[in-house]
Amino acid sequence: MQNERRKGRLGSRGLTTDRAAGVALAAFAIFVLWESRNVPFGTTAQPGPGTVPVLLALTLLLCSGVVVAGGAAAPRVASLPWTEWRQAVAILGSCAFMALALERLGYRLTIFVTLLALVSLVEGKGWVVGTIFALGFSWGTYFLFKTLLGVPMPLGPFGF
């Protein structure tokens, strides 16, 4: 009886990876739509600042509905081995670190420390490879955005 109820609620295969992703994306789209309610949408002739976020959220909501509807053939979430959970936690922690440190340490130092930790510790590529990659990426992207594109970038207390 309980299996029959579960089949009726989640389909014949249960919660699949595609359906879980589709529901998460739909929730994000609804959140963006909710947050955009006070931003002027504008008109067709003069779109307002809320036009692009609302249209993108509606497109994402539509696409996530398609993913949920067609997600029955994907593997079930319960069948996944979750062997890379440590990497996922490290990436999430790195994102939190960057959000908190970007203005305090500056772009180049924050990106350098984050990439050095991810490449050397999480991926195990070694300190030399991690340092070269982190230096090249942090300074190269800073040059691209600040110098070539003219985007203001945060400088830390050490001037870089």
Q: Has residue 69 got a pLDDT over 50?
A: yes
Q: Whole-model pTM?
A: 0.62
Give pLDDT, residue 159.
77
Lowest-pLDDT range, 5-9, 78-82, 145-149? Answer: 5-9
Q: Which pLDDT band holds residue 78 (cuts at 50, 70, 90)?
A: confident
* Residue 158 to residue 83: CA distance in whole angstroms: 40
Give pLDDT, residue 68.
93
Q: Which pLDDT band holds residue 147 (cuts at 50, 70, 90)?
A: very high
Q: Give the residue among 66, 57, 59, 55 at the shortest CA–CA distance from 21.
A: 66
Domain extent listing, the chain: 2-79, 85-148
Q: Has residue 6 got a pLDDT over 70?
A: no
Give pLDDT, residue 72.
87
Q: What are the two backbone dihedrals, phi and then psi, of residue 76, each rounded to the nearest 5 degrees? A: -70, 145
CA distances to 33, 51, 81 from 45, in Å: 21, 12, 52
Q: Which pLDDT band holds residue 133 (cuts at 50, 70, 90)?
A: very high
Q: Has residue 111 got a pLDDT over 60?
A: yes
